[in-house]
Chains A and B, each alone.
Chain A
Amino acid sequence: MQADQQGIVVRQAKVYADANSASGQVGKVAAGTRVSIFERRGGWQEIFSEERSMIGWVRSYQVRESKGGSQVITAQKEDSRGFLSGLAALSRKASGFFTQDNSATSSGTATIGVRGLSEAEINSAQANFEELEKMKKYTSSGKRMTSFVEAGGLNANAVAHIPGTGK
């Protein structure tokens, strides 16, 4: 198996045998543990921890892809207030490490609490009308629906709303 990503555990995570919580827990990994990431499936990621000699699945949000993992570990040691604040402090010091570009969701970018869409970010947001136009382009249509519904084996049901929740 070839690990294509390095990652870091952002909070203590239960490790499961498969990509669902019913598959059985194989162990735990602590926040700050460096891991290799093999595969992503739905909301799960398969990881390998060399330190714990453990392989298994954790919730995606518990692990972040990273590059330059050693810097992350250093930050953790430097900051006694906790791992997350340590990372946030580091990101302020070295903004180049936490790239803020549009490819942030592809591999090699660690973003932890740095771009959480905070209250301040929402309240001071500058309108982006170009992005709005882009969003409009993805709108579905009746035409697309036919194949989507068929392929997904979806059937519409007549179900009344629960009383007291409006018409």
Chain B
Amino acid sequence: MIGHRQQLLILCLCFLSLVTPGVDAFDLNDLKKQFEGSNKAASESLKIIDQLRGKVSTDDEIEIGAKLTSGLLGASPLVADTRLQHYVNDVGYWVAAQSERNELPWRFGVIQSHGINAFAAPGGYIVVTLGLYQLLENEAQLAAVLAHEISHVVRKHHLKALQKTMKRDLWSDLAVEVVEDKQDRKKVQKLINSGLQLYTTGLDRKYEFEADLRAVVLAARAGYDPYAFLDVLTTIDSINPDSSELTVLMNTHPPITDRLEALARKMDGRLDSYARGVDNADRFRRVASSR
């Protein structure tokens, strides 16, 4: 068995091989296989290998998502309505349960902002603005909006974008848990703000189209009318695009008409048999009217 120090040395060599042109990561795979199933120290080393290759553990992904979400909540806190928050979590959890990452600790919230938007953060954190929530007419539409955000998380769109845009050292620090040290807090705050920029610059347009197309499938899987998502887009499209509530959404997403067109073309009737799915408008209204 290899000692821990020797492992670290090998890791350093491997890192050099990664950053050295002409040397591929094939050896790294072999090394990883050798480590697998050996001992605890080795599992720690495996984690480092994954980080070196740009892979992030689920725990780290959740920690990164928590930090970004705390930033979003700092910009706009949750609506003080327990019933509403539970309802959104119930709908979201059910939809997420139909996804390929149903093991994540999915968390949903409605924030006070009157802007019309929804945000997803790595690890399963999703927030919807009150402005968007109030545009919705039924549970199927809510499920569809959440399904779009869930799809971003399932496909790790934000994680990939952060890895691309943030400097390597800053990026890895985002996964470190927050401590009570003042200096560290300042540093973490800076990191969070750096990460939050993603929500104003937006994802690659192809990720948005992908999330749209996966959202309608997720909605159908969950027993809802998948066309409810197109209803939401149509509603948003009827709002003056210059209104301040839509600024961030419009800056970060493809034009609504392009999204509707792509959805209709790619769905191509294949989800029509699910269009009779429930919309649970009564249940949705009961929650809304209790506010």
Which A residues have a C-beta under 8 Å from some C-beta of B? Answer: 11, 19-20, 39-44, 59-61, 84, 88, 102-106, 111-113, 115-119, 121-129, 131-132, 134-136, 138-141, 144-145, 148-149, 151-162, 164-167
Contact = CB atoms under 8 A, between A and B. Distances in A.
A122 B119 CA distance: 11
B274 interface: yes
Contact of B90 (A123, A131, A140, A159): A140
Contacts of B127: 135
Query: Which of under 10, 10 to 19, 20 to 34, or 35 or more describes the interface residues of B?
Result: 35 or more
Contacts of A127: 67, 70-71, 73-74, 188-189, 192
Nearest to B284: A42
A161 to B, nearest CB: 5
B270 interface: yes
Contacts of A148: 90, 94
A128 B112 contact: no
B25 interface: no
A136 B107 CA distance: 6
B67 A117 contact: no
Nearest to B280: A152
Contacts of B278: 152-154
Contacts of B129: 117
A160 B137 contact: no
Contacts of B98: 156
A126 to B, nearest CB: 5
Interface stretch (B1-9, B33-41, B49-57, B75-83): B75-83
Contacts of B247: 116, 118-119
Contact of B76 (A61, A115, A145, A152): A115
Interface of B: 66-67, 69-82, 85-86, 88-90, 92-94, 97-98, 100, 105-109, 111-117, 125, 127, 129-131, 134-139, 155, 178, 188-189, 192-193, 196-197, 199-200, 210, 213-214, 216-217, 220-224, 235, 239-240, 243-245, 247-248, 251, 266-267, 270-271, 274, 278, 280-281, 283-285, 288-289, 291
A162 B266 contact: yes
Contacts of B109: 135, 138
14 contacts: A42-B288, A43-B135, A116-B115, A116-B248, A117-B113, A118-B115, A125-B196, A128-B73, A135-B78, A138-B85, A138-B89, A140-B106, A148-B90, A162-B214
A105 B266 contact: no
Nearest to B67: A127
Contacts of B106: 139-140
Given A105-B79, A127-B189, A162-B270, A152 B288 contact: no
B86 A131 contact: no
B290 to A, nearest CB: 10
**Of listed B90, B248, B285, residue having the most chain A CB within 10 A:** B90
A10 B17 CA distance: 61
B54 to A, nearest CB: 18
A131 B73 contact: yes
Contact of A112 (B114, B196, B200): B114
Contacts of B79: 105
Given A39-B289, A42-B288, A131 B94 contact: no
B77 A115 contact: no
Contact of B94 (A115, A119, A149): A149
Nearest to B240: A11
Contact of B189 (A105, A126, A153, A164): A126
A118 B220 contact: no
B90 A104 contact: no
A145 to B, nearest CB: 6
6 interchain residue pairs of minimum CB distance: A113-B244, A140-B93, A117-B113, A125-B75, A131-B73, A128-B74
